[in-house]
Structure 1
Amino acid sequence: MSQQAGATPPEAKARGAFTSRKVFILAAIGSAVGLGNIWRFPYVAYENGGGAFVIPYLVALLTAGIPFLFLDYAVGHRGRGSAPLSFARLSRRTEGLGWWQVGICFMIAIYYAAVIAWAVRYTFFSLDTAWGDDPEGFLFGTFLQAGDPGVQLDLVPGVLWPLAIVWIAVIVIMVAGVEKGIGATSVVFIPVLVIAFGALVVRALFLPGATLGLDALFTPDWAALGEPGVWAAAFGQIFFSLSIGFGIMITYASYVHPRTDMTGSGAVVGFANSGFELLAGIGVFAALGFIAQANGVAVSEVATQGLGLAFVAFPTIISEAPAGALIGVLFFGSLVIAGITSLVSVIEVVISAVRDKFEMTRTGASLAVGVPAAVISLVFFSTTSGVYVLDIVDHFINQFGILLVAVVSMLVLAWGVRALPTLADHLNAGGSVPIGTWWRVLVSFVAPIALGYVMIDAFLTDLETPYEDYPQWMLLTFGWGSAAAVIVFGFLAARVRWRPETSLDPVPDTTQTGGH
């Protein structure tokens, strides 16, 4: 035996590594549990059959979400590198997929930070209900100072300084490294998030009218199960909420000890993420039930998602609810914590790739990625047009960036380079969940078909109706342009040669017995 069982391999010490399986699981949960769990899932469930949505949701989790999570884990854990390096170590022809994912993560990072900055400000706004009687007017007029859609580079100081603080905090975490930065942040933040959001849910359940909201969310519409769109919504929600398909889980898996149980870990992460989504649904709709009853309207009239839920509906609830300030601090504080742990995972995909490609130090790569990302983020998203650019980039990068690269990756790995048997063997070497033919069928057929349907449906919708009626030039530039730019970047970056000292062969496993 060349080294003590359970010891950290030399290469892991050079790249950084999670200190234990527990820390890895918390970091993976921190990445998966983000803003979408809180402000997207409740509304998607409500709109797609209520309680009946649980059935397609669980089917999607078991047939696409967790199997794809296993695929990401296998690529990263076997390749022991960033997304591009792990793909290259699987097959030289697939490296471009990794860089495509890196480009997507860079795009996401620069706008995701802005939403966290808004949540930071709203945490303090909650103390004195600064939005007054018009939360929507306050958001777009007073706070964001948004004019008509277009590109205006007038700075908004109220967004500029919290956005700068968010980026300083993230860069400090990234410089600290995998163990002392990402791992330590997850170990602290995830328990705090669960406690804070759990307290919010308990408080919301005791609001007058809470049962009205819960009835609206959980009353099953069994007829909805016959609609293809409901099943597509379930697959789309699972996919977007698990942080799969765009390099995060590949990168995180590369920081785990070679003998870690990856399939057991994946099952824990998948079900923990879904459990938090259910918790979010209960808390959000209990609060919406309160505001519906208080205003004498149906829940359907106050139910919304995204920015409207977080920055318009919840401020209204906070203004009218008993102990509203407490609800506001818990809600927006939870958004900040969930956002930070997700942003850290997104930017780590880029930093890890730059480190591997150019053999840079952790500090050098963190600054080389973090500083330009922060500058671009501040220039575009602390301005009067920031909210419109953010909305467009987010929509197109999610639909035609993440979804597209995920479908292409599955098809290439399954049919192009025939890598699934190799990856299944790797997972089975230390996994507690046996990977067999069922997994290869799901990854080769079921998941690509389901996600392909979601993507094609979104594509046809956007061709038929311009997204949110934004000017065509903005959609072409920041929407379709962003989605195309990350593809071009991915395959140009793959043409840059690796340094001679970088091995493109899989890292040999030098341990013989179980690790963490």
Structure 2
Amino acid sequence: MTDNAGSGPGTQTEETRRGGFTSRRVFILAAIGSAVGLGNIWRFPYVAYENGGGAFILPYIVALLTAGIPFLLLDYGLGHRFRGSAPLSFARARKRIEALGWWQVLICFFIAVYYAAVLAWAVRYTFFSVNKAWGDDPEGFFFDDFLNLGEPGVALEFTPGVLVPLLVVWVALIVIMALGVQRGIGTVAMVFIPVLVLAFLALVVQALLLPGSGGGLAALFTPAWEALLEPGVWAAAFGQIFFSLSIGFGIMITYASYVRRKTDMTGSAMVVGFSNSGFELLAGIGVFAALGFMAQASGVAVGEVASDGIGLAFVAFPAIISEAPAGALLGVLFFGSLVIAGLTSLISVLEVVISGVRDKFELSRLTATLSVVVPTALVSLVLFSTTSGMYVLDIVDHFINQFGILLVAVVSMLVLAWGVRLLPELIRHLNHHGSIPVGPAWKLLVSVVAPLALLYVLVRQLVTDISTPYEDYPAWMLATFGWGVVVGVIVVAALASLAPWKPQTRLDLTEEEVR
């Protein structure tokens, strides 16, 4: 960073050491890259379809305005005001709440470990699309031929078809992360986000030209207004907007700390929030247009071919590609979009961990990158390139999202609002250069409305998982990779916060130093 306004020599040295985005535009593209991930493409369309179709847009917008953007502003305010990684920002706010930052760092570690595996699958399937390598049985090919999936458990029998692309993904990530905030993260965002938008627009156009696409769009957007009376639909909207914006687990705190002091953070939040939602709607159009084609070709209702997550990406879409005119092009666009969206999101997740470790131990960029990414890559390769990797991935993903991200978000909001009463200070900071003022309404949303909404989502899921073991996995697997990971993250976070900061790391930034 080169902005010297209101900075003393010590602060400028620290900013030079940490690096930063060279402009607001780069920051916004990086933030959009983090927010637009696999969930936008394979989760939102199905969630909307299952929860009232066109009627779901109303609770979705309400959730965006009352929880999504307000929480995004909370993350931006914290990172931009206290100029650090998640642990350093929390520690500078109040030393006793530093553990919240490490909780977020550890959540990102576990997400990075398994997210890379899905990215590696998408890389392989981009090439599979050219000759439709899955043949006449996409489901059998994915689970048997590609993953060599065995029985639920933990096996160390490696699958070369996954091991090689996963290794390539991690090597690429080491290079990108070592290059730093602007040369690595910023450059990737500047190049790949426009490419992602163009590729997905081409995918949508191609999907809309397929026979039966109108039936898919009708299934998605025909409103079931009675669904608005169901609490579960509103819970789904708040859950979706929360996960899709990459808020609550350190990413936006970290990115905001790399932005120049005079940046308009409130206006940036609006751009990122609505860009993310716009992409989700675009994804819904593209995915359901393609599903409408598949339904017509199979002579069944759209509901019978609609799915989400891994089933949509690696089973349903290959089946569509096999039948569609210009299917190879459709496949390359779809899986290429998954690769780009996944890469930009994974970069942001890793940066949370690298930044936290780097700030705590005063490491160089390269040393911090290697210290974080190499061990993370080894764990990822050992766990997720084996014949049992799919089961472990599914369990960790479910529990770290539901009881890791949601829980730390609720706790963070309550602690910042009621425990240390930091919101007035953040309001002053956000309004100092913000184009859209925040005030009592934002404070009410962050301290009451958003926590209550997310707590309701969390309790619903907790009751479900306690009453019915997730996907009927063995109890020991759920205890180890599910509940064990959730509890372990909290314990290790508390221990990490006890480690002393280096003497040269300042925890007492003044208001003048961040203006």
- TM (norm. structure 2) is 0.98
Deviations 1:417-456 (A, max 9, x none): 0111011111011111111100010001000000000000
Q: Per the alignment, in what secondary structure is the counterpart of residue 81 of structure 1? A: coil
Corresponding residue number in structure 2 for 1:363: 366
* Letter of the 1:371 counterpart: V
1:127-146 map, 5 Å? 127-146=130-149
Output the amino acid matched with 1:109.
A
Q: CA deviation at 1:509?
A: 4.3
2:347 maps to: 344
Contact 1:79 1:254 in 2 (8 A): yes
Instruction: Report the residue type matching 1:225 in the other structure.
Output: L
* Residue 33, structure 1, aligned to residue 36, structure 2: yes
Question: 1:3·1:510 contact (CA, 8 Å) conserved in 2?
Answer: no
Contact preservation (8 Å) 1:80, 1:507 = no
Q: How does 1:381-396 map to 2 (within 5 A)?
A: 381-396=384-399
2:61 pairs with 1:58: yes
> In structure 2, how many angstroms separate the alpha carbons of the residues matched to 1:93 and 1:253?
22
Q: Judge conservation of contact 2:6–2:512 (CA < 8 Å) in 1.
A: no
| One-letter amino acid matched to 1:231 | W
Q: Distance in 2 between matches of 1:243 and 1:13?
A: 26
2:88 aligned residue = 85
Deviation, structure 1 residue 507: 5.6
Segment of structure 1 superposing worse, 220-229 or 145-154? 145-154
Is 1:231–2:196 an aligned residue pair?
Answer: no
Cα drift, residue 508 of structure 1: 5.1
- The 3 A distance-change label for structure 1 pair 509 and 218 is same
- After superposition, the Cα gap between the structure-2 partners of 1:461 and 1:3, relative to the gap in structure 1 and judged at 3 Å, is closer
Deviation at 1:304, TM superposition (A): 0.3
Q: 1:117-166, CA deviations, whole angstroms, 9 ceiling, x for partnerless residues?
A: 00000000001111111111100000000011111110000000100000
1:179-218 aligned within 5 A: 179-218=182-221
Structure 1: how far apart are the matches of 2:413 and 2:236?
A: 20
| Deviation, structure 1 residue 510 | 5.1
Superposed CA RMSD: 1.3
Residue 216 of structure 1: CA displacement?
Answer: 0.1
In 2, Cα distance between the equivalents of 1:303 and 1:143? 22
Aligned-pair identity (%): 73
2:4, 2:185 → 1: CA distance?
A: 26
Match of 2:289 in 1: 286
The alignment status of 1:13 with 2:10, answered yes or no, reads no
Whole-angstrom distance in 1 between the partners of 2:237 and 2:224? 15
Match of 1:174 among 166, 174, 177: 177
Correspondent of 2:505 among 487, 502, 505: 502
Q: How many angstroms does 1:13 deviate by?
A: 1.6
Match of 1:325 in 2: 328
Offset of 1:5 from its aligned partner? 5.1
- Counting only pairs closer than 5 Å after superposition, residues 82-121 of structure 1 correspond to structure 2 as 82-121=85-124
1:495 positional shift = 0.4
Over residues 329-382 of structure 1, what are the superposed CA-to-partner deviations in whole Å (9 max), with x where a residue is unaligned?
Answer: 000000000000000000000000111000000000000000000000000000
Q: Partner of 2:267 in structure 1?
A: 264
Report SS of the residue matched to 1:200.
helix
1:509–1:113 CA distance, 2 compared to 1 (3 A): farther
- CA change 1:259–1:301 in 2 (3 A) is same
- For 2:317, the aligned partner's letter is F
Amino acid at match of 2:290: A
Aligned counterparts of 1:3 and 1:362: Cα–Cα separation in 2: 21
2:79 matches 1:76: yes
Mapped to 2, the partners of 1:6 and 1:506 lie a distance apart of 12
Gaps of 5+ in 2: none
Secondary structure at the counterpart of residue 495 of structure 1: coil
Q: Does 1:467 align with 2:475?
A: no
Q: In structure 1, the residue corresponding to 2:180 is in which secondary structure?
A: helix
What CA deviation, in whole Å up to 9, does each residue of 1:364-416 have, x standing for no partner?
00000000000000000000000000000000000000000000000000110
**2:394 partner letter:** D
Comparing 11-20 and 275-284, the one that deviates more: 11-20
Q: Does 1:435 align with 2:471?
A: no
State whether residues 78 and 506 of structure 1, in contact with CA within 8 Å, keep that contact through their aligned partners in structure 2. Answer: no
User: Aligned partner of 2:486: which letter?
Assistant: A
Instruction: Verify the 8 A CA contact 1:90 1:506 in the aligned structure 2.
Output: no
- TM-score of the superposed pair, with normalisation by structure 1: 0.98
Structure-2 change in CA distance of 1:132 and 1:509 (3 Å):
farther
